[in-house]
Amino acid sequence: MKNANQSEQCTFNNPIMPGFYPDPSVCRVGEDFYLVTSTFAYYPGVPIFQSRDLAHWKQIGNVLDRPSQLNLQGAGHSQGIFAPTLRYHEGTFYMITTNVSHGGNFVVTATDPAGPWSDPYFIEGAEGIDPTIFFDDGKAYYLGTRPCSEGVRYNGNWEVWLRELDLTTMKLVGDSHVLWRGAMVDVIWPEGPHLYKIDEYYYLLIAEGGTGPNHAVTIARSQSLTEGYVGNPNNPIITHRHLGKRYPIVNVGHADLVQAANGQWFMVMLASRPYGGSFSNLGRETFLASVVWEDGWPVVNQGRGILEDQGMLDLPAAPVAPDLRCENFDTDHLGLQWMFLRNPLEDLYSLTERKGYLRLKLKPQTLKELENSSFVCVRQRHMDYVAATAMEFVPQQEHETAGLVVIQNDQYHVRIERALEGEQQVLRVMTWFGGEESQVAQVVLEGDVPRVSMKMAALGQQLSFYYSTDGSEYHLVADRVDTTSLSTEVAGGFVGCCIGMFSSSNGKLSDQAADFDWFEYGSY
């Protein structure tokens, strides 16, 4: 368990994956690390990333990128895909997860982590959520969490259980074993379990305490796979529950361990960064910490014991090309970072009908429903950011709208849209908070204006909106709209904000479309 000394070092910044990238799971194959995160109701599901140094990550695919793999119809923002685990064994990658809205726990496989991945094998009898897969002595095992088998005494009274998984049939076989119910007295929500065989011990790493401020990472070990797990006397091995809701990093938990080829150990985990008070608009992000072993137990960020903004790796730096700040829609496919809400409807968008433009068809569905609307987005990854687009769209009916939006869920978003009111073409800023809609501001577009550029600029929780008719001179529409309602603390759920372009015919039929020439997103 000793870490090898290395002459090359790499500094990393936390979070290593900013924005809505929760429930990270990591594995190493040779010199390469691979990582996946939860996506809930967003499609495609489960992005997969590759890195050589754990600090710089490149998205190489989406594990669930076909309708046959992922049914999200009617799923709430915080339903759908929960807590994936990524593992590699004898030439095959395994990703196991839960679709809480349709079908339950399933596994997909691939020989190339970039895909294609198989259709799902749903696992009969795999009750509960947060599955993982563990390989030991030529056998595979399913590990998950479920309501306490002796009877649920209180909400969150769950347990971690294990059963052998036949990889030929993808069926559970043999007896079920309860491994652990967590470290704390009357613990709630033991979840996100991962098993490791290190020297003579099996180590069981879990999260407990819920996904909010009391989130924590705990660990137990046993010399037997199926029984006798004893908790670390120093549990929890990492948490920020004692630092208060306004500490710069909160909600720390749901971790996975990985060992580099040089012997050094690390832990990835989720956490949130509140800003403008105790408000986490970015959702739960992926962080990294170093790990050393003392007396047979892991010590996280030795000497500090909490997550930090920066850290050091005894690995050579392996930077990757940064994400494009501006997308010009010059190819016939969207980049891997783009997402939809739920399964995209047929004929929802086109990159070929008008070359160099993203065409979003106006559909009756809206962002206020648990449906797939004409909406394509990326994750908000910064507290201070600019998002902008140039749109060609002239509504002919009052129910036809299109524009730019930042969304938390179906009950909470802020948008700037072009619309028709009477005989006037207008741009208006609208809030949808807690299911109630309000108009913040409006400007009238005078004359023939087929093309409008729109921009939203955030400084912390204050979001301002601008427009331009010539692409260079911008005018203010709404100043410093408060966005604390877009936080998890107000809106609830497990996701973070996403930003993108939308169009809608708001419950009616339309043959109209909105053409977007480019989309820009980046920090100040």
Beta-carbon contacts of 153 under 8 Å, excluding residues fewer than 6 positions away, are none
The SS3 of residue 140 is strand
Residue 465 · residue 10 · CB < 8 Å: no
The residues pairing with 270 across neighbouring beta strands, listed in sequence order, are 253, 286
Residue 482 appears among annotated catalytic residues: no
Cis-peptide into 316, omega within 30 deg: no
The residues pairing with 89 across neighbouring beta strands, listed in sequence order, are 92
Neighbour count for residue 480 (Cβ, 10 Å) = 14
Q: Which two tokens stand for residue 357?
A: 């433009």
Angstrom distance (rounded) from CA 456 to CA 486: 15
Residue 280 · residue 273 · CB < 8 Å: yes
Angstrom distance (rounded) from CA 401 to CA 408: 20
Question: Which secondary structure element, helix H or strand E, spans residue 431, and what is its range?
Answer: strand 424-433
Closest listed residue to residue 204, CA positions, set 187, 190, 217, 219: 219
Residue 246 · residue 274 · CB < 8 Å: yes
Closest listed residue to residue 84, CA positions, set 21, 172, 150: 21
Residue 84 · residue 38 · CB < 8 Å: yes
The SS3 of residue 490 is helix
Assign 3-class secondary structure to 345-383: CCCCEECCCCCCCEEEECCCCCCCCCCCCEEEEEECCCC
Angstrom distance (rounded) from CA 202 to CA 373: 46
Angstrom distance (rounded) from CA 246 to CA 443: 38
Q: Looking at 53, 159, 191, 327, which residue is catalytic?
A: 191
Residue 438 has φ and ψ, to the nearest 5°, of -140, 145
Place of tokens 């000497």: 303
Give the DSSP per-residue string, 285-310: EEEEEEEEEETTEEEESTTT-S--SE
Cis-peptide into 47, omega within 30 deg: no
Residue 23 appears among annotated catalytic residues: yes
The SS3 of residue 172 is strand
Strands 385-392 and 451-459: antiparallel
Please tell me what DSSP assigns to residue 39: -
Please tell me what DSSP assigns to residue 71: -
Apex 82 CA angle, 76 and 84, nearest 5:
150
Angstrom distance (rounded) from CA 498 to CA 278: 19
Where in the sequence numbering do the catalytic residues fall?
23, 191
